[in-house]
Structure 1
Amino acid sequence: MTICEEHVARRNFPTAAPDGFPASIMLSFLATAGLFYVNIMAAIVDGLVSGLGITESAAGNIGAANIYGAAFGALAAVFIVKRVSWRPLSIACLFGLIAIDFGSIFLQSADMLILVRLAHGVIGGLLVGVSYAVIARTDKVDRTFGVLLFVQFGLGGLGVMVLPRLVPVYGVAPLFIALALFSAAALAMLPFLDRYAPREKPVSSTGGVLWAPLAMTLLAIFLFQAANMGLLAYIIRLGIDYGLDRDYVSTALGLATWVALAGPAIVIGLGTKWGRFPILLAGMILTLGGTAIFHLSSSPAAYMIANCGTGITWGCVMAYLLGMAAQFDTAGRTAAAAGFVSKLGLASGPFVAGRLLGADMGFSGLINVALVGLALSMVVMLAPARRLDRKGGA
């Protein structure tokens, strides 16, 4: 136990039960704070295009830079989660995020925004990686990741519903203020969390690290996140390109994101009671079907259905994949590694999507590429899921 952890352990301050729902919610806010811009990425990309006059390709590059920075921050977390006290590091990261978000309000240059948001991503990714490692030290890993996705989808839905309407009036300021306020909320919750020291006993019955299933799980996370995020980053532009009204698109996305809360709710309710394999198989089949429906986005109903369907499965599948990755290590390093790979996928999606749109492949081509990525992800994820189910990884 470090000196800092001894101090926290002895402090006379009320803390939530380490494996209770309040703690899960607060851990979810902490993990989300470093990456909340992903949940409102569609609003950010649209805001940069319509508010600052930046090209769609440049706006995608800014979003990609933010998430690539997060990937490297999450990678750094893999190597330091056992060596540093997570609480003071989290505090420093949150203050850094707040400062950069407020500073971003005054930037007009796409090149400068790329650099600044890259730095923001590094700090945020470090925070997320550390948070994932802490979550891996709880008794209810899958449930906590379900709560995490529930928080992200719920507040993300509010963001994509409200923020795009403010951009034409106030510019990009509301986008970055919203991010800063979320970090401030996470900062306020931090003192109420328990110590979450590394465990002495294995988290699951898998024993040592199973490298092949771990590698397959990480690859599945990368492909799944990249394919989904490539579409999500441009989902507002996609709807408008298919002839839908901007207000309808914003409302549809917000409502769909709230409907998508059913995905993480499934994880919270079921956990691993029925195993991961059957749920992942069903979830991925629905994901492919929902993504294909985006080809019919000229119909408002089809656009809504596609967003609702893919949103539900995104939250469900990702919670299980993150929970799977957390089973391979007792200190949270594989969970932090999953955070790195997840961010890498989230960054690569908008980057590739911007290139596809820049090459005049159109949104129809973008949808088809996303379908291929999702299909590959499904093939890769099912084998480690079945193996963990057979070994009883909880």
Structure 2
Amino acid sequence: MTQQQQTLSSPAAPNRFRQLPAATADSTLARLMLAFLATAGLFYVNIMPALVSGLIEGRAFSARDAGIIGSCNVYGAAVGAFIAIFLVKKIPWKAASASLLLLLISIDLLSMLLDNPLPMMLLRALHGLTGGLLVGIAFAVMARCGQVHKAFGMLLLVQFGLGGLGVMLLPPLVPLYGSWVLFMALISFSLTALLMLAFLPAYPLVTADPTQLPPPIRYRPLLAAILAIFMFQAANMALYAYIIELGEQAGLSIAIISPALGVSAWLGLLGSVLVIWLSTRLGRAAPVFISIVITAAATYALHYSASASIFWLANLAVGVTWAFSIAYLLGVCAEFDKAGQMAALGGFASKMGLASGPLFAALIIDGGSYSGLINIAVGLLLLAAAVALYPCRILDKAPGADVAPSVK
């Protein structure tokens, strides 16, 4: 057993962050708490439709301003994730995570007081920067786990499960109580992650053997994986940010739209569970390619959103395949570097895509229809599927590839 395996599979030791027993490093409980930590910095993405709709309904912001606020939030996160790439090897990740969570809570409290779009854009960009740093750190720690696909599968399990609850419950509450409920939801999640942080193990950075050179990073497949992540996230988020308005323009009521979004996000749990169960049993290339193509087909079906049944089915399909595909794609980046820097780089690409989608959509649909946006999203998804094949095949064919003959 290697030094790294001994570190990751060793029994729980007293937690230095607080004198509390820590979870075993490679346990399902530890993966769950890491998933909460990573989600806390970017939970607003999972409730983006509720956030955009809430700012329009609760604060009378225009659709364009609300979309740009969402983009500012995620662009800030992208910058934070990029900075995290250079910090993950140098900082005590637990102390940094606690500080960032407290700052997130403070910014969300301040956001309740603003009713002007420009200050809100600036403040949410700062929120995104803080959250992006947190997510980048969490991704780097997750990359130190064994069976990294399971860690990212758990991440998507948390994001889609609680995100589904958010998009189902929050939009109807905004007209009754105001948009402050959106920020209270974010604060509650950050507080939960802060409590869980105390029970996480240390996940120390394993020092490489100085007599052995680390394997060189293959930048071509890595860049292909990063590009695929960016296109996939941008295409999905461009529509997801405005999915409530899209449904309403098609003639559907919020009583139909909100449950559809909530259930679709919960079905994302199925996609996450499939990743955890399947792992690399069938490799990566075939599952990722098929899943993204299904996402593209379901996205195209949104042209027919006037039918409540088609709107529901399209969102349900995207819910499953979005979680399934992105967990694999993030895992592909993480496998290039167990120190976690490439995982943080994958997180940066993800956030750039998530930020660019709403911004691009805000510029296209301002005063127009959603048909052109749907077509562009479908094209991006198909291109992402083609690009993702290259890095997935490289890893599938690599000697000693992380292929699990059985998944526990």
Same fold (TM over 0.5): yes
Q: Distance in 2 between matches of 1:248 and 1:207?
A: 52
Deviations 1:79-124 (A, max 9, x none): 0100101000000000000111111111100111101000000000
Code of the residue aligned with 2:299 in structure 1: it is T
155-164 or 248-257, larger mean C-alpha shift: 248-257
Give the counterpart of 1:331 among 318, 334, 339: 339
Partner Cα separation in structure 2 for residue 308 and residue 285 of structure 1: 15
Q: Quick one: distance in 1 between partners of 2:18 and 2:196?
A: 16
- CA separation in 1, counterparts of 2:37 and 2:286? 30
**Structure 1 residue 232 displacement after superposition:** 0.4
Is contact 2:361–2:373 with CA below 8 Å preserved after alignment?
yes
- Return the letter of the residue paired with 2:103: G
Quote the RMSD (CA, aligned, Å).
1.5
Partner residue of 2:365 out of 341, 357, 367: 357
Structure 1 residues 186-265: aligned runs within 5 Å: 186-200=193-207, 207-265=215-273
**Matching of residue 107 in structure 1 with residue 103 in structure 2:** no
* 1:278 maps to which of 286, 291, 295: 286
From 258, 263, 268, the equivalent of 2:276 is 268
What CA distance in whole angstroms lies between the structure 1 residues aligned with 2:160 and 2:26? 22
Give the corresponding residue for 1:3.
none
Partners of 2:233 and 2:350 within 8 A in 1: yes
Q: What is the DSSP-based 3-state SS (H/G/I as helix, E as strand, rest coil) of the residue aligned with 2:24?
A: coil
1:135 and 2:142 correspond: yes
- The 8 Å contact of residues 108 and 187 in structure 2, kept in 1 or not, is answered as yes
Q: Residue 102 of structure 1 contacts residue 176 of structure 1 at CA under 8 Å; is this kept in 2?
A: yes
Q: TM-score, normalised by structure 1?
A: 0.95
CA distance in 1: counterparts of 2:133 and 2:367, whole angstroms = 34
Q: Tell me which amino acid in the other structure corresponds to 1:84.
A: I
Residue 12 of structure 1 deviates from its aligned partner by 4.4
CA displacement at 1:259 relative to structure 2: 1.7
Q: Which residue of 2 aligns with 1:368?
A: 375
Note the C-alpha offset of 1:393. 3.3
Q: Is 1:183 aligned to residue 187 of structure 2?
A: no
Aligned to 1:126: 133
Give per-residue Cα distances to partners, 1:245-302, cap 9 Å, x unaligned.
1121111111111122111111010111111111012101211111111111000110
Counterpart position of 2:24: 17
Partner of 1:88: 95
Distance change in 2, residues 1:141/1:348 (3 Å)? same
Deviations 1:214-265 (A, max 9, x none): 0000000000000000010000111111000112111111111112211111
For structure 1, the 5+ residue unaligned runs are 1-5
User: What's the counterpart of residue 393 of structure 2?
Assistant: 386
| Aligned CA distance change for structure 1 residues 141 and 201 (closer, same or farther; 3 Å) | farther
Aligned residues of 1:327 and 1:393 also touching (Cα < 8 A): no
1:7: Cα distance to partner? Answer: 9.4
How many residues are paired up?
Answer: 385
Distance in 2 separating the partners of 1:11 and 1:179? 24
Given that residues 14 and 20 in structure 2 are in contact (C-alpha distance below 8 angstroms), is that contact kept between their aligned partners in structure 1? Answer: no
Q: Mark the CA change 1:106 to 1:9 in structure 2 (over 3 Å): closer, same or farther.
A: closer
User: When the two structures are superposed, what TM-score results if normalisation uses the length of structure 2?
Assistant: 0.92
Matches for 1:12-51 after TM superposition, within 5 Å: 12-51=19-58
Instruction: Give the letter aligned to residue 145 of structure 1.
Output: F
Aligned amino acid, residue 228 of structure 1: N
Shift of 1:199: 2.8
1:301 to 302, 309, 317: 309
Identity of aligned residues (%): 47
Aligned structure 1 segments of 4 or more residues deviating by more than 6 angstroms: none
Secondary structure in structure 2 of the residue aligned to 1:192: coil
- Please say if residues 208 and 328 of structure 1, whose CA atoms lie closer than 8 Å, have aligned partners that are also in contact: no
